[in-house]
Structure 1
């Protein structure tokens, strides 16, 4: 039994250090050390195993249980980015925002436009939109390029591509300054480089050699994409930091919570799910593994009073994300 407990202790400590490694994404960029970003992909599994082992020590009446429980407090906020149960928020709903990767309407083309119309949103931020010609009465359209579209019922003051000026880096986003009820806000629609995985590429079949090669191929795709994301994040940060208006940043980041992308794009902004979300934030449903890669952030002058991942529709491989904001002071 002592040997078994020693093995469990070593495994538990190893998982703790791996989890701590995900926190370093706030400081270490992928071009310096991309492996911390790779760890963030496994955060849900790591934290579940960590909790199970902590419970094991509790029922074993070992003092080390308190050490692991105390260390686990460091991961409360990271967990809330995946699963959250916030209290109900009060406030007038002044801005309704919907972010949705439509996958160019390839899955639910006929249902897509009626669904978007039915949301009656102030602003729709769409990714992988492929220039679909929507016929929305009363809506203006900002579609400067890059497969990104912003639709709004309000006046567009300015629209602009976030231009990488580098052929190797795709357009990471577009922005539109929109006047709503006498105030101007900067909306930034984001779509970071996709990994372009097919299900067969990540499905293990039990053959050791084949599975090992698949894992190597996946890592070969992940690492270069992480590094491209670093360049794209820097460009988006300029648009945020130079904005004279409150910012609402939304889109498909192709990055999970606790990643480099998450930490640096959310810096100085509020995660609407953490403030107003309930349940799971999983938004990409093409794989069975829980993945949150769609986000809505805002300046602190805006208060998220509701957050919804709309799982009632399956017209894309993503679920739409809806947030209602109040502009009342906190």
Structure 2
């Protein structure tokens, strides 16, 4: 009997030792995620930026090990992951929504301000969703949510097509004020084969508002003058003005085949698949570097704003990343304030990709609610936040 006890003790010790090694590994992993969040990769592409896309997994595993050790005799070893979660709080706090208690007010009738941002993917112009009603359902959802301020990325209009006057359709919902910032002119037939050969559409991002807008500025974010930030002053009430900024940062531009490759799991990693993986990682690395440059430009613009800032849009980057940290600065993330769970906003590849944000100045606003409806009308889910207004004047 004693012999079996000794064997059991040795096996238990082996598993504890193995668990400890893994725990140290995920602790280091989380610290690398924090490092990646502050590593400036602007004009200096680095594979370290890719680690930001693994933030959620690093946080989740450290939570697992903290709980694991609490149910063993070595409870003190839970301090390894607990200390990592505390040290890496900028990553930990933004990775998951922990708001299990407290109100989450999303009804526009019970708040002073409701903001909605959505990458509408050209209103499914390419019929990617395989649903011909998607464009009408997008407008219906906006009508249902009834935000005071609506920010749309990958918006477009076609003045020559009476069936696609989305600007007028939305303004008829009560959005008196409207601003548009063009990214490019597109040959419509390159997206939808049913279009006429000469049809041209204007694509970019737009703001529709029930509140007065003024002082629009289009800030260029790259040398090609393609990516840009739309800035506009919003009169929230008689005494309060905010600076609303809408962005769509550099995309990774994966092809459909690359997206499918990333989504599918394979039993064996062949040499060909290994090359594809390296190609995907290189694209992520280069795109992260370009977004870092854009984030620095945005940070300098926000810092010069006369009014408190609100930032909405598609960052194409994860919470805790350098891009996120640089743009966020002293602003708060509506998801962190009121969100719950993973907060996925991008519908492809991984269920952990939260890349669309509403950031706000906490001296200006208090977040009352957050939601991101899971709807298959675009490759992104909409992001919605409600607020009460606190600020009574401009920033000095």
Within a 5 Å distance, the mapping from 1:26-41 to structure 2 comes to 26-31=37-42, 32=44, 34-41=46-53
Q: In 2, are the aligned partners of 1:84 and 1:273 still within 8 Å (CA)?
A: no
Q: Give the equivalent residue in structure 2 for 1:130.
A: 156
Structure 2 residues not aligned, in runs of 5+? 1-10, 158-164, 184-203
Deviation at 1:14, TM superposition (A): 1.7
**Compared CA separation, residues 33 and 74, structure 1 to 2 (3 A):** farther
**Compared CA separation, residues 123 and 241, structure 1 to 2 (3 A):** same
Q: In 1, are the aligned partners of 2:153 and 2:248 still within 8 Å (CA)?
A: yes
Bigger mean CA offset, 46-55 vs 139-148: 46-55
Q: In 2, are the aligned partners of 1:12 and 1:50 still within 8 Å (CA)?
A: yes
SS of structure 2 residue aligned to 1:173: strand
Q: Give the equivalent residue in structure 1 for 2:192.
A: none
* Aligned residue-pair number: 328
2:213 alignment partner, one of 146, 150, 156: 156
* 1:88 matched to 2:114: no
Q: CA RMSD in A?
A: 2.4
Work out the CA distance in 2 between the residues paired with 1:77 and 1:165: 28
Q: Give the equivalent residue in structure 2 for 1:286.
A: 348
Deviation at 1:262, TM superposition (A): 1.1
Q: In 2, are the aligned partners of 1:125 and 1:149 still within 8 Å (CA)?
A: yes
Q: Give the equivalent residue in structure 1 for 2:297.
A: 235
Deviation at 1:89, TM superposition (A): 6.7
Deviation at 1:299, TM superposition (A): 1.1
Work out the CA distance in 2 between the residues paired with 1:130 and 1:89: 32
SS of structure 1 residue aligned to 2:166: coil
**Compared CA separation, residues 204 and 121, structure 1 to 2 (3 A):** same
Q: Give the equivalent residue in structure 1 for 2:142.
A: 116
Q: Give the equivalent residue in structure 2 for 1:180.
A: 236
With normalisation by structure 1, the TM-score equals: 0.90
Q: Give the equivalent residue in structure 1 for 2:116.
A: 98
Work out the CA distance in 2 between the residues paired with 1:276 and 1:58: 28
2:179 alignment partner, one of 142, 145, 148: 142
Deviation at 1:273, TM superposition (A): 1.6
Q: In 2, are the aligned partners of 1:141 and 1:152 still within 8 Å (CA)?
A: yes
Q: In 1, are the aligned partners of 2:104 and 2:368 still within 8 Å (CA)?
A: yes
Q: In 2, are the aligned partners of 1:271 and 1:298 still within 8 Å (CA)?
A: yes
Work out the CA distance in 1 between the residues paired with 2:234 and 2:51: 38
Q: Give the equivalent residue in structure 2 for 1:320.
A: 382
SS of structure 1 residue aligned to 2:213: strand
Work out the CA distance in 2 between the residues paired with 1:194 and 1:166: 15
Q: Deviations over 1:95-122 (max 9, x none)?
A: 2110001011114112122222333221
Deviation at 1:227, TM superposition (A): 0.7
Bigger mean CA offset, 179-188 vs 63-72: 63-72
Q: Deviations over 1:212-266 (max 9, x none)?
A: 2222011110111011001111221122111111211011111111101111111
Q: Give the equivalent residue in structure 2 for 1:58.
A: 70
Q: Give the equivalent residue in structure 1 for 2:253.
A: 196
Q: Which has the larger radius of gyration?
A: 2
Q: In 1, are the aligned partners of 2:215 and 2:233 still within 8 Å (CA)?
A: yes
Q: Which runs of 4+ in 1 moved over 6 A?
A: 89-92
Q: Deviations over 1:183-216 (max 9, x none)?
A: 3211111111111233223134223223322220
SS of structure 2 residue aligned to 1:129: strand
Q: Give the equivalent residue in structure 1 for 2:187.
A: none
